[in-house]
Structure 1
Amino acid sequence: MESVKLDDVDKGIIGALQADGRRPYSRIAADLDVSESVVRYRAQKLEQAGVLQVVGIADPLRIGFDRMALIGLKVRPGSVGDVCAAVTAFPETSYVVAIAGSFDVLVEVVCRDTAHFTELLTQRLHQVDGVVSAESFLVLEIHKMAYGWGVGHVETTIND
């Protein structure tokens, strides 16, 4: 992956949108002392470069999904990329990463219920070519789900 150089304006835009993805460009521009068109152009460029994505994040356990889990996969040597590609295609996966440590791949999944989770794990994940074993970690409660890292703290107010 290619690293992107960010200046203070880019970091300010990212930080503001991480704090509040619906924050108007005009307010971000005022805070950064640049024009609204600069903010709009920079945000568009950051999105096109794959640096920034503005989305609504919901707590799956509060909107009808009953099972969320992290699954550590051990895979056959040389197959990490293929396993990640296959697992990424499952609609239940929200996070798939190749890692170093006891596991080779870490997967976050969100399922409707225990039956759905069981089917995903035993009928699909275990069947992916290259998967040697899987260990599941069921999420009981989400205490923090944050995506505001990397560019520093951004002050926000209720009236903003």
Structure 2
Amino acid sequence: MEQHNGGSRLDDVDRQLIAALQLNGRKPFKEIADESGIPASSVRYRVQRLEESGILQIVGIANPLAIGFDRLAMVGLKCAPGTGRDVCKSLAEFPETSYVILTAGTFDVMVEVVCRDLPHYTEFLYERLQLVPGVQSTETFFVLEAHKLAYGWGVGN
């Protein structure tokens, strides 16, 4: 998903639609229309516009621990100067990465990695992630327990 820094303006209707779909991405447009007083055709159009602009993405989210992926990690990367954005673009292409961010602080990039097991993670780390041009060092933080996995954020003004 492409990065957006507030360049797109959301109105109250957009925020209402996003909030409804964050609670239930499969909710029929007719139900959203009935609850919000917005015509179903407007709901459909606005959701399509939000998706096309990259503001909204409707996906099915599975708990990786429940479907056989038992190696979750956050990895901090230090990058060569000026390469952070290129590193992020490269990491976003790996199927094992679920979250890739450019950061300020100790690490230049943070990435969430989901792997089947330790051998899978080891192969990913040493044979692919650390070989991305610009990556100078990595530090792995293995997830021992997940206490909250949430994908709904407030869409206030």
* TM-score clears 0.5: yes
Instruction: Report the Cα distance in structure 2 between the residues aligned to 1:147 and 1:88, rounded to whole angstroms.
Output: 18
Deviation at residue 102 of structure 1 after TM alignment: 0.5
For these two proteins, the number of residue pairs brought into alignment is 152
Identity of aligned residues (%): 58
Corresponding residue to 2:59 among 55, 60, 68: 55
Deviation at 1:27, TM superposition (A): 1.3
What are structure 2's unaligned runs of at least 5 residues?
none
Computed over aligned residues only, the root mean square deviation of the Cα atoms, in angstroms, reads: 1.2
Q: Which runs of 4+ in 1 moved over 2 A?
A: none
Counterpart secondary structure, 1:82: helix
Question: Aligned letter for 2:37?
Answer: D
Task: Give the SS at the match of 1:6.
Answer: coil
Secondary structure, in 3 states, of the residue corresponding to 2:85?
A: helix
Normalised by the length of structure 2, the TM-score is: 0.92
Q: CA deviation at 1:62?
A: 0.7
Rounded to whole Å, the distance in 2 between the matches of 1:83 and 1:52 is 24
Q: What residue ranges of structure 1 are gaps of 5+ in the alignment?
A: 153-160
1:54-98 Cα deviation digits (max 9, x unpaired)? 111011011011101000000111111221122122111111110
Shift of 1:150: 3.0
Matched residues in 2 for 1:75 and 1:102: separation? 11
Q: Using the TM superposition, give the Cα deviation of residue 34 of structure 1 relative to its aligned residue in structure 2, in angstroms.
A: 1.3
Aligned to 1:83: 87
The C-alpha deviation readout for 1:122-153, integer Å capped at 9, x for no partner, is 1111112211110001111211111110315x
